[in-house]
Structure 1
Amino acid sequence: MLVNQSIISDLKAIIAQSNDRAVRAVDHQRTLMYWHIGKRIFEEEQQSKDRADYGSFLIKYLSEKLQPEFGSGFSVRQMNLYRQFYRTFPIVHALHAQLSWTQYKLLLSVDNEEKREFYVAETKKNNWTSRQLERQVYSNLYERLLLSNDKESVLAVAKNEKQPADAKEIIKDPMLLEFLGLKRESSYYEKDLESAIITHLQDFLLELGNGFSFVSRQKRIHIEGDEFFVDLVFYNRLLQCFVIIEIKTHKLTHQDIGQLQMYVNYYDRIEKLSHENPTIGILLCADKNDAVVKFTLPDEQKQIIASQYKLYLPTEKQLLDEVSKEMENFQNGENL
């Protein structure tokens, strides 16, 4: 008797989904338990806050009583984490089942409330794994978006309170490509960087941001008998447009900008459908002079973006210094 073999794959999918839901449910209950433990510890401390060092004594005492029976999850370090968890997220109903305890532990290291709100919103919206959230926090995603946006816009887009109207609201500068595993001291051909991006396409899509999907590599286009090849083509469903990426492993020149402008014009006139928005072009370059970019392109244009790539993770201080410099440049420009 023949059996439709698709039933096996269907049942495996059902089992996998159920197991995943069960794991998530257990983790959420564990997260709630840690929150309530932290709340109870804090309340006890408040009753005796006039006694010096009572908090440290209390946590050590509780650990000694609980750890022998319940294990390492009740060490002094963990009990301090539970207390910090309650202090950082004081409303239990604001806890999100989509976030795991591992992700909440990571968010405890984020000392800015607006920044935490951003990472919580992005984790929920994109269903980030713990590893993906860790990478975004350590790559200072929030600070990088602030280089070309204000805090209100960054948070509003993250929380789905507004859709991005400008590519700069989701495209970062710099882009961090440490996941490619390339040594920053070495020089690379553009094809080497392109091949590494394709090999690590999932990580590159995560770095690009919300709504991107891969379309083509080395897209061949014909213009009146001449042949050209576009490095990478993506589509962004939020912006509803094609996104062309040209890779330049040297310092950006005005000729590079002109080449990308030609590709953008071609896509706008030949590939773009009537309901789609104008094509975005990204020059992913090793170095750039922002003044050259500014004076090569028309004022107020929004289709060409130059983004410098880095093969390592800069420190938060380096990025905050960049934010301060960009704000200073903006204010100086307003005063001209």
Structure 2
Amino acid sequence: MHINQSIITDIKSIIAQSKDKAIRAVDHQRTLMYWLIGKRIFEEEQEGKDRADYGKYLIKYLSEQLQPEFGSGFSKRQINLYRQFYRTFPIAHTLYAQLSWSQYKLLLSIDTDDQRQFYIAEAIKNNWTVRQLERQIYSNLYERLLMSNERECVLAVAKKEKKLSNANEIIKDPMFLEFLGLKKDASYYEKDLESAIITHLQDFLLELGNGFSFVARQKRIHIEGDEFFVDLIFYNRLLQCFTIIEIKTTKLTHQDIGQLQMYVNYYDRIEKLPHENQTIGILLCANKNDAVVRFTLPDNQKQIFASQYQLYLPTEKQLVDEVKKELASYDGKTKNNHFTP
């Protein structure tokens, strides 16, 4: 008797999905439990707010009473975290079932509400794992996007209040490629970097941004008898366009920009369908001179981008400096926009 083998695949899929839903449901209940604990602690603190050090005493007392019975989840540090959780998210129905407690713990480390809301929206929209959310936070994703966009634009795109319309709303400079496992001080050929990217393609797509999918590597194109090879080609379903990436492990030159411009023109004139948008070109380089890029390309062009890659994540000090720089820049723009009589 012949049995359609797809039934096995279907049942395995049902089992996997059900297990995943059960795990998410249990984790969400745990998250709610920690929120309720934080709420109760905060309410008790308010009763004793006139007593010096009452909050510290309360946390210590609760830990002594609860940890022997319920374990390390009720250490002083953890109980403080539950209190902070409630203070940061004081409205229960704003908690998202899609986010795990581990992800919420990461979000508590973020200083500003704008940043936090950005990462919440991106994590839910892109179904990020804990590891992916952690990497995006520590690679300074929010600040990197702010370099080319207004704060409101970054948040609006993340929350889907604004449709993605320009490539610079998602393309980052620099790009952090620490997941490739390459030593930052070593010398590499372009083919080495390209091979490492293909090996770690999922992580590279995450770093590239929303909506990218891989199309081809070393794509051969013919132009009037001459043969060329394009390093990497992707497609962005949100922007509905091809994205060409050329890798340069040395300092960027105007000749590199011209070569990429030729590839972009070729795809626009030969490969692009009528309903698709103009091709994007990204020069992923070890070093660049922004002035050379600016003077090589026409004013206000929106197709060619030069992004410097780094083979390691920034240090904590570098992150803090970057945040201060972006906040100062934003405050300056705000002041300049105010009317002074």
Please give the TM-score of this superposition, normalised by the length of structure 2. 0.94
The answer to which of 3-12 and 49-58 deviates more is: 3-12
Q: Counterpart of 1:17?
A: 17
C-alpha distance 279-149 of structure 1, shift in aligned 2 (>3 A): same
Cα displacement (A) at 1:324: 7.2
CA shift in 2, pair 1:321/1:72, >3 Å: closer
Distance 1:285 1:63, change over 3 A: same
Tell whether 2:308 aligns with 1:308. yes
Q: Matched residues in 2 for 1:197 and 1:5: separation?
A: 36
Q: Does 1:174 align with 2:177?
A: no
Deviations 1:156-200 (Å, cap 9, x if unpaired)?
A: 010011112111000000000000000010111100000000000
Distance of 1:36 and 1:139 partners within structure 2: 32
Q: Find the residue that maps to 1:111 and give its secondary structure.
A: coil
List per-residue Cα deviations over 1:9-50 (Å, max 9, x = no partner).
Answer: 211111111010000000000000100100000010011101
Report matched runs for 1:1-336 at 5 Å. 1-314=1-314, 315-320=318-323, 323=326
Counterpart of 1:173, as a letter, is: D
Aligned equivalents of 1:325 and 1:193: distance in 2?
35
Q: Is the 8 A contact 1:280 1:303 kept in 2?
A: yes
Give the counterpart letter for 2:278 in structure 1.
P
Where in structure 2 are there 5+ consecutive unaligned residues? 335-341
8 Å contact from structure 1 (residues 147, 322) kept in 2: no
Contact 1:147 1:326 in 2 (8 A): no
Structure 1 residue ranges (4+ consecutive) displaced by more than 6 angstroms after TM superposition: 324-331
CA deviation string 1:75-111 (max 9, x = no partner): 1111100000000111111100000000000111111
Counterpart of 2:232 in 1: which secondary structure? strand
Determine the C-alpha separation between the residues in 2 that align with 1:319 and 1:249: 25
TM-score by length of 1: 0.95
- Contact 1:219–1:232 under 8 Å retained in 2: yes
> Would the alpha carbon gap of residues 205 and 7 (structure 1) be closer, same or farther in structure 2, given more than 3 Å must change?
same
Root-mean-square deviation over aligned CA pairs: 1.8
**Cα drift, residue 233 of structure 1:** 0.3
SS of 2:84's equivalent in the other structure is helix
> For residues 327 and 247 of structure 1, do their structure 2 counterparts lie closer, same or farther at Cα, with a shift above 3 Å needed?
farther
Change (3 A) 1:158 1:276: same
Separation in 1, partners of 2:133, 2:329: 26
Shift, 1:330, TM fit: 9.6
> SS at the partner of 1:203?
helix
Cα distance, 1:106–1:329 mapped onto 2, change above 3 Å = closer
How many pairs are equivalent? 331
